[in-house]
Amino acid sequence: MEPCSCDTFVALPPATTDNRIIFGKNSDRLCDEVQEVVYFSAAVHDNLGEKLKCTYIEIDQVPETYAVVLSRPAWLWGAEMGANEHGVCIGNEAVWGREDVCNEEALLGMDLVRLGLERADTAEKALNVIVDLLEKYGQGGNCTEGRMQFSYHNSFLIADKKEAWILETAGKFWAAEKIQEGIRNISNQLSITTKIDREHPDLRKYAKQKGWWDGKKEFDFAATYSYLDTARMMTSPGRYCEGYKLLNKHKGNITFETMMKILRDKPSGINMEGEFLTTASMVSVLPPDLSLPCIHFFTGTPDPERSIFKPFIFVPHISQLLDTSSPTFDLEDQVKKKPHFKPDRRHPLYQNHQQAWEAILKNEEKAKAMVDIMKKMEKALFQEMDSILQNKHLDMDRMTNLFPQCTKDEIEIYKSNVNS
């Protein structure tokens, strides 16, 4: 199964305003999959003999892990997208090509997203973490909960306050492109062509052995490892091209609000609907000034056009994100009792969002009224975050409870509209 889903974007100066780097991603997954927003604090791991359990396999733990905020399908260990306390952001995409996908359980691409964030304080170090783990443990396994088999290779967009990297994989082989200015996006296809800044040591040798490259013409990663006509990649219809057009349209004036507008765009297909839909969205502002905080916005609910982007800032003593954390289940016991058991993983925000939209969907007047209230809340949050970036002042009491309080306020909007 090869659905067209997921888009990740980055804009760097001079494409942005105020010399900032802006990161954004829509996570497009099966329409009934719940995505939660969770926080894990930094930790020191003294007993390195203990293994770390990822989604399917156990791997070696490291002495120290950084604080992370993640948007993830609630059934797994890893993440679709997220950020860490050092301003590193990562999003991944499903990709396919000539190399066979491994269905055997290994590290998921989503596990690699979380591992990169937990173990690296720069974008390039995160790239190193991911490719080292890829070499050691491989990638593979079912990427959905339940009976449907859905496996793929992965591409990653990794950004920090200084630069971004595109990392694209085919099995254990990979190529990476460094982005230092302008705009870049990834979708469900290989996109690195001849500008390769780092690569697997056997990338070209393997391609020659497979007969994909003759060793004479210029090496083009996407053309070699997939079936793409890379000469037409930027002009052919498709979401990779549409996403680039949206970025390019705003080049020079891109802000975090611009990025949200792109993620909400339905005519381009970026905001997906159908069996696979946009289940959660994320936008991050990464200012170059080290005295300024990075600000990460998450929806935690499907369809960014019907959701509120809520800000999260890393500060000490953050309150737990209870209203976007899904219930946990002892799955082995449940599956024994009920074969093909699929638990209800909806967290409080998801439940209230779903109930509100189901209740007013056929009432255009009520739907418009609720959207107006949501936009008003969101606008106030944007103004507050802009003030922080301009004035360099953080109200620490407010910041420790920022995302949880925003979530509670959003839930109240949904409850009041259901009950009215």
The residues assigned a catalytic role are: 6
In sequence order, what DSSP letters do the residues of 399-414 get, joined into one string?
A: HHTHHHHHHHHHHHHH
Is residue 24 within 8 Å of 8, Cβ to Cβ? Answer: yes
Length of the chain equals: 420
Under 8 Å CB-to-CB from 39, ≥6 apart: which residues? Answer: 67, 68, 69, 70, 312, 318, 320, 321
| Residue indicated by tokens 């002042």 | 393
20, two tokens? 């900032």
Distance CA 383, CA 294 (A): 15
Please report, for residues 47, 61, 109, the alpha-carbon distance to residue 51 in angstroms, rounded to integers and kept in the order given: 9, 6, 19
How many CA atoms lie less than 13 Å away from 326 in the CB half-sphere? 22
Return the structure tokens found at 193: 């062509």
Nearest to 145, CA basis, from 325, 329, 8: 329
Per the CB < 8 A criterion, the answer to whether 78 and 72 are in contact is yes
Distance CA 221, CA 235 (A): 19
Rounded distance, CA 301 to CA 299, Å?
Answer: 5
